[in-house]
Amino acid sequence: MAGVRKAFGANVVLSGVDLTVDRGECVVLIGASGSGKSTLLRCANLLETVDDGVITFEGEDITDPRVNGDEVRSRMGLVFQSYNLFPHLSVLGNVTLALRKVHGVSSAEADQRGLAMLDRVGLAEKSKARPDDLSGGQQQRVAIARALVANPRLMLLDEVTSALDPELVGEVLDLLSDLKSEGVTMVLNTHEMGFARDVADTVCFLHDGVVHETGTPAQVIGDPQQERTRAFLSRIR
C-alpha cells in the first residue's frame, strides 16, 4: 500500500501509510493503542474505504471503486481478537461454512478440507465439539483454521492473542509460527514482542498516522533509531 490515508471525521488515523508485504513474509505492526493498527488491517481487507492512496493486492489496485470487495476478501483471511465463532455450529461446521456458502465447495469436499485444516491446527479430535466446549486458545485456533481453509493469499490477524488468558497465548503464537514456516503470508498486530522478534521478517511501528520506523525485528525492536519507537518499547516492556 502507498500513501494510504484514512480519517474518521476530523480524526486522521492514517495520514500516508506505505507498506509492502512480500509473498511468504510475516509483517508485524506495533504501535500504541489508537495508532491505527486495526484500521490499517481493515483498510487492507476493504472493510474500510480509504480516503486516498493505493492498495495493490496480487497486482490489482483494490482501491479502484469498480473492484468487487467480496471477491477480494475471499482471497484474504481475517482473524480478530474475538474469534466470533457460531455457537450453534460444530467446530467443523464453523470451519467449512464459508467454503460451502461463499466458495461453492460441495459438503463432502468442504468436510474433507475442513478436517485436514483442523488436523493442521491440532484440533482434529474436536471437529464435532461446539465452540463453547473449547478453551479460548482452541477457539482462536479454530478461527484461524476457518480463515485458512480457503487458501487465502494473505492472512490479516488483529491482536489474535489479546483476549486470551496468558497460559493460552503460547499455543496460538506457536500456530502462527508454524504457519510462517509453511510460507503463509501474514500481517498481524500484537503486543507480543517476543513473538515479533522471533517470527517477524519485518516490524512496522505505527505512529502519528504513518509507519514511523520499519525494519527487521533486530533493528526496530533491538536497536530502534527513532525516539518515539524507543519510548513506545520502553512503555510496553
**CB-nearer residue toward ligand ADP: 38 or 140:** 38
CA gap 76, 72 in Å, rounded: 7
Give the shortest CB-37-to-ligand ADP separation in angstroms.
3
Angle in degrees, CA 148, 149, 155, rounded to 5: 15
Give the shortest CB-7-to-ligand ADP separation in angstroms.
9
**CB-nearer residue toward ligand ADP: 95 or 210:** 210
- Which residues here bind Mg ion, judged by CB under 5 A? 38
User: If DSSP codes are grouped into helix, strand and coil, which group holds residue 167?
Assistant: helix
Give the shortest CB-132-to-ligand ADP separation in angstroms.
27
Q: Which does 6 bind (CB under 5 to 8 A by kind): ligand ADP, Mg ion, none?
A: none
Q: Which does 34 bind (CB under 5 to 8 A by kind): ligand ADP, Mg ion, none?
A: ligand ADP
Give the long-range contacts of residues 226-232, CB within 8 A, separation 24 or more: 229/205, 232/30, 232/31, 232/32, 232/205, 232/207
Query: What's the order of all strands across the beta sheet hosting 11-17?
Result: 11-17, 2-8, 52-54
CA gap 209, 4 in Å, rounded: 9
- Which residues here bind ligand ADP, judged by CB under 6 A? 8, 11, 13, 31, 33-39
Q: Are the CB atoms for 33 and 56 separated by under 8 Å?
A: no
**CB-nearer residue toward ligand ADP: 19 or 105:** 19
Q: Which does 229 bind (CB under 5 to 8 A by kind): ligand ADP, Mg ion, none?
A: none
Give the shortest CB-35-to-Mg ion separation in angstroms.
9
**CB-nearer residue toward ligand ADP: 127 or 189:** 189
Half-sphere exposure of 51 (CA within 13 A, CB side): 14
**CB-nearer residue toward ligand ADP: 33 or 234:** 33
CA gap 207, 78 in Å, rounded: 23
Give the shortest CB-39-to-Mg ion separation in angstroms.
8
Give the shortest CB-202-to-ligand ADP separation in angstroms.
17
User: If DSSP codes are grouped into helix, strand and coil, which group holds residue 192?
Assistant: coil
Q: Which does 137 bind (CB under 5 to 8 A by kind): ligand ADP, Mg ion, none?
A: none
